[in-house]
Amino acid sequence: MELLLNQGELLDLGKNRQGLIIICREGSIWLTQKDDPRDFVLYRGRQFEVRTKGQVVISAVRPSRLQVIPDESAACQNSLALVVLQ
């Protein structure tokens, strides 16, 4: 699934997304996970694999295009509900 985010838009991927892969195709995005003290900034061509059960939130640092690839394992078999917040 590919998504476009305008600068400042937030994308809530929900929880229990272990194995989900997020690829920044254009622009740059900031990513944070609950229960992980680190934050990540992805630039064009960079990717991130979700490894925690906590909520995952993405914010567009500038207009961005990203791809979200669910893992084939049971951890990501539940439907991917996305909420874009402005």
Give pLDDT tens digits along the chain (86 positions).
Answer: 999 999 999 999 999 999 999 999 999 999 999 988 899 999 999 999 998 888 999 999 999 999 999 876 544 444 555 556 55
CATH of the domain at 15: 2.60.120.10
For the chain, what is the domain count?
1
Residue 47 domain boundaries: 2-72+81-85
**Runs of H (alpha helix) within the chain:** none
- pLDDT value of residue 85: 57
The answer to whether the beta carbons of residues 24 and 42 sit under 8 Å apart is yes
**Token pair of 12 as six digits:** 């809530």
Q: What is the dihedral of CA 11, 12, 18, 23, to 10 degrees?
A: 0
- pLDDT value of residue 74: 42
- pLDDT value of residue 71: 77
Distance CA 79, CA 72 (A): 12
Residues 6+ apart with CB under 8 A from 28: 41, 42, 43, 44, 60, 61, 62, 64
- pLDDT value of residue 46: 97
